[in-house]
Copies of this chain bind each other. A is one copy, B any other.
Amino acid sequence: MQTILVIDDDESLRDTIGVMLEQEGFRAVLVADGRAGYEKSMLLKPDLMLVDLRLPGMSGVEICKQLRAAHVGTPIIVLSALGDEIDKVLLLEIGADDYLVKPFGTRELLARIRAVLRRASPEARKVVRFNEVEVDLERRVVSKRGEELKLTPAEYNLLTYFLQNPDRPLTRDMILNSVWGYEFFPNTRTVDAHVVKLRQKLEPEPNVPRHFLTVHGVGYRFLP
């Protein structure tokens, strides 16, 4: 998960951005003060920063300059109030990657964030592989020999749970609890039915499982 540090003294804007970022699957860290924000950025090493130009404690310009002077390459998007003089050249000089004039829509902000992140790390996709299977966690796409497979939500959730707990026996109760969120465990064969489906879709030979193994009397074990 990518972390975004937001430095802005407008509380309501900060919160709006925070909620939006969380919604979109980012981790948002919010700071109001310039100096505190700068220090946070050094500690936190976020993937991207949103920085207001006018800030108490330390201006956005100053933050950018200091970071760049310290050879910190974190992408920065500058936010500025409507009245502020915006000098593109200055922004370029201090090493900002983009800027937005308030007020702006969350949509637009999000688009810029994605654009900047994409530019910064073009192919930082999280992909897990085993045998001929590839799981793209970002896109929620599973493919086998390069061919895209269709997994249902339950299948996909179960698969990612296995991926997160490889080579470890997992009881049906653990699985039900983690994947289905059940607290109490009905007498159910649900897990089994879904393991069968995963095997059918992902195993080279579904009836001779090499990855989704049965642990008799216990549950299942995933071997990458």
Contact = CB atoms under 8 A, between A and B. Distances in A.
Interface stretch (A58-66, A75-83, A191-199, A213-221): A213-221
Contact of A23 (B110, B114, B174): B174
Interface residues of A, number: 39
A224 to B, nearest CB: 14
Interface string A203-224: 0000000000001111000000
A152 B107 contact: no
A107 B161 contact: yes
Nearest to A217: B153
A168 interface: yes
Interface stretch (A4-12, A48-56, A127-135, A175-183): A175-183
Interface string A1-41: 00000000000000000011001100000000000000000
Secondary structure class of chain A's binding surface, majority of residues: helix
A153 B183 contact: no
A168 B183 contact: no
A168 to B, nearest CB: 6
Contacts of A23: 173-174, 177-178
A140 interface: yes
20 contacts: A20-B178, A23-B173, A23-B174, A23-B177, A23-B178, A24-B177, A24-B178, A44-B89, A45-B88, A106-B181, A107-B157, A107-B160, A107-B164, A107-B179, A110-B178, A114-B164, A114-B165, A138-B168, A139-B168, A140-B215
